[in-house]
Structure 1
């Protein structure tokens, strides 16, 4: 598997990115911001990660999406670790990412990747046109995580 930056049109990646963010309007709003990276095996796209700078020191992992067959086998972690290396080299000191309060798997995954909970954006998903339900829980709030980039993700604080 290799991770490479998408330098051409991004519209073809919209269906993939929608796997991680059910609001198509929301994805279209940030689709052309920041940098988009894809994980490939042979000619097949396994997943994608879109990073958007927030300020001079902080980059946000705005969207990370994997095809079903690429989940649970290290593809997501590889995309994040690749982003950490790239953005550390660019001089960023912190990465943030958010997920719905109902995304139980994501809450666990980001912590396993070295992120720590930082705050909650209450009512974030109330602006979506349709309610989002996962694991029998309605998505109301965005749980935000952060990770310092100069530290190992598995390091204890």
Structure 2
């Protein structure tokens, strides 16, 4: 599972830290091969943060990321959680589009967040510097 998690977060130390405090949902095939994983951490009694979501490169673009997020939201809604938060790098153009398609909206920017990482992160020719924080509020359907 760690190789998958490191696709979404290049700091093994940070991954280990939030694995200790979070819930993990893993998606696998009939052969028990991990196709995707999502880690969520409770922020307070009403909110959770998606700390990591990753789908194996061979299975990306097939709806597994959307499935993982929707399943995690559904499970947390059963526990009374209605507010969901996720952060991604300013350079993660595809992630920003992905989350917005799922109903997340930008709510904050954590400036210089990725400057604390041991190595520079580059995506799409852009250095990851700031974390773009997005949120989604779920309501009960009647």
SS in 2 for 1:56: coil
1:55 aligned to 2:44? yes
After superposition, the CA RMSD in angstroms is 1.2
Paired positions, count = 140
**Alignment of 1:94 onto 2:96:** no
Instruction: Give the whole-Å Cα distance in 1 for the aligned partners of 2:60 and 2:3.
Output: 16
5+ residue gaps, structure 2, are: none
Determine if the alignment matches structure 1 residue 85 to structure 2 residue 70. no
In structure 2, what is the equivalent of residue 65 of structure 1? 54
Aligned to 1:19: 7
Deviations 1:99-146 (A, max 9, x none): 000001000000011111111000100000111000000000000000
The alignment partner of 1:32 has SS state of helix
Give the TM-score normalised by the residue count of structure 1: 0.86
CA distance in 2, matches of 1:30, 1:64: 12
More helix by share: 2
Q: Deviations over 1:33-92 (max 9, x none)?
A: 121001112122100000100000000001001100111100000000001111111001
Structure 1 stretches lacking a partner, 5+ long: 1-12, 153-157
TM-score (norm 2): 0.95
Partner of 1:104: 93
Q: Report the CA distance shift for 1:151/1:77 in structure 2 as closer, same or farther (over 3 A).
A: farther
Q: Does 1:135 align with 2:124?
A: yes
